Structure 1
């Protein structure tokens, strides 16, 4: 594998895309309000992410897998995402996404947004409905940081040449191990801990920060 000049790793929900996928799935169960409140608490760092995710996924029990297509149709890419990923590629970089969301959605949208590699959770199925549980280990804050580090090692990218972009408390560990941690459309605790804060919801604002 050819070494990359640098690596940019983004969170997915409310960063790569404008939506919170689990809330769109909760719409299908008629439980959006309670899931949305739990998501916001987790992103503020008020509750443990893995514990919160398990409870929120439990609320999806019984949602048919046919809902995935409806949710994918509602996804809104964040403004500037195509410009950012194109600029990374033009400069010899690689774009990764690591998400507390779900492969069932990310696998379909990531390639079209210029993402080179991605990691997310998987939903356990019972036939053609959701079982209300995560299949396998949960992608939490530590897993996000480990993904950035392992991808950098595979690509021959030095730690100082990595950039992490996120909005929630579960992005803080990833941002701490990156050469540059950028809070994007972020919660107060994340803005306070980040190397840089980007306020406008436009990922192209990050292009001048690329090496």
Structure 2
């Protein structure tokens, strides 16, 4: 056991547990449920070579990389917030099919000026620790991607600001400067996120155990299950049950602890 005082006054414990693999990982769900009841963050990963050699991190956007749901803020600016937020929340809990719920929300935006989304995209509130997190990953040469069920303008703004390597999202149809209430191109849903994770890993010449996936909602489940390390960050119960780690007490940069880094090592990286 190794104990450290982490950033923000958090106590960080690194434990190595030995025993039959099927027994230890069979306890994963129970351990994560108990951690939630105790109000602590917990991650469980195999003590193999991949644990210290992750080479790709893929992230959800809304309520993960940024603190808002972009479509909710877009709806708020259009006077449609209550209707859209209700659909969003039900979708994140896994109560509604993602594509149907997305199309229903987008339809409510018909006739609204597209420039509203540009204004929101220019002022994204990034999650605590997001810049430190991505900055450290870049210094380590770890590739980064955002895979979002949201919209291209916001995701591209995040990619440019943080220097991410890949960005994928849904495209709103615009005619004469206004939303039509329709989408263009393939939908980035749970299945598409998992496919994109695999495509990026293959393009970078990486195996799936070298990939970390981070998300907060039911739409992120498949990509977390495909990755070598699936992290539920400030997540809904619908996702927590399928994650290898559940974090939420600190910022997004606490994921770096799961990569084996200490605060001193992170600070040294960023000081270069």
User: Does TM, scored on the shorter chain, surpass 0.5?
Assistant: yes
Q: Secondary structure at the match of 2:118?
A: helix
Residue 23 of structure 1: aligned partner: 72
Q: For 2:247, which of 186, 194, 198 is the aligned residue?
A: 198
Q: For 1:134, which of 172, 179, 183 is the aligned residue?
A: 183
1:114 to 2:176 alignment: no
The gaps in structure 2 that reach 5 residues or longer are 1-52, 261-272
Change (3 A) 1:192 1:5: closer
Alignment partners' CA distance in 2, 1:200 and 1:146: 30
1:125 to 2:162 alignment: no
Q: How many residue pairs are counted as aligned between the two chains?
A: 208
Question: Which of 1 and 2 has higher RCO (CA within 8 Å, sep 6+)?
Answer: 1
The answer to whether the 8 Å contact 1:26/1:60 transfers is yes
Alignment partners' CA distance in 2, 1:46 and 1:144: 19
Alignment partners' CA distance in 2, 1:64 and 1:35: 17
1:170 to 2:190 alignment: no
Change (3 A) 1:135 1:158: same
Residue 89 of structure 1: aligned partner: 138
Structure 1 residue 200, shift from structure 2 partner: 2.2
TM-score of the superposition, structure 2-length normalised?
Answer: 0.74
TM-score of the superposition, structure 1-length normalised?
Answer: 0.94
Q: Secondary structure at the match of 1:163?
A: strand
Q: Secondary structure at the match of 1:107?
A: helix
Alignment partners' CA distance in 1, 2:194 and 2:65: 17
Structure 1 stretches of at least 4 aligned residues deviating more than 2 Å after TM superposition: none
The answer to whether the 8 Å contact 2:118/2:153 transfers is no
Alignment partners' CA distance in 1, 2:232 and 2:101: 22
Structure 1 residue 47, shift from structure 2 partner: 0.6
The answer to whether the 8 Å contact 1:7/1:163 transfers is yes
Q: For 1:62, which of 111, 120, 130 is the aligned residue?
A: 111
Structure 1 residue 150, shift from structure 2 partner: 0.4
The answer to whether the 8 Å contact 1:12/1:99 transfers is yes
Residue 51 of structure 1: aligned partner: 100
